[in-house]
Chain A
Amino acid sequence: MIEREDERLAKSTGDSVRLSRRTLLKRTAALAAAWTVCPWPISVPSAFGRDREFGREPDHQAITQTLEAFADTLIPGEKRFPEDRAIAGAVSGAGAVQAGAIAMLNFPPVGFQPALPGIATLLNVRAVLYALAHGISLELKLPPFVELDFASRTALLVEILDGDGPDQGAFYGLASVCFVAYHSAGYLPTADAIRDGHPGLAAIGFPPPNPDGVWRFPDFSYRRVLAVPHPDSQHGNPA
Chain B
Amino acid sequence: MQVTSQQFKRKAAEALANPQLRKALGNLRARMVSGRARSLLELENLEQIREAAKSARDFALAHLDHLLERFELNACARGAQVHWAETGDEVNQLVLEIARRNAVRKIIKSKSMLGEETGLNHYLEAAGIEVRETDLGEYIIQEARETPSHIIAPAVHRTAEEVADLFQQKHKLPRKTDIGEMTREARMVLRPHFLTADMGITGANFLVAETGTSMIVTNEGNGRMTTTLPRVHVAIAGIEKVLATLEDVAFILRLLTRSATGQPISNYLTFTTGPKQAGDKDGPDEFHIIIVDAGRTRVLASDLRAALRCIRCGACMNHCPVYQSVGGHAYGWVYPGPIGAVLTPAYVGLDNALDLPNAATLCNQCGVVCPVKIPLPDLMRKLREQQVERGLRPWPERLTLKLWAWAALRPAAYAWITGMLARIGRWAGGSKRLIHKLPGGAAWSRHRDMPAPSGKTFRELYRHRR
A pairs with B = no
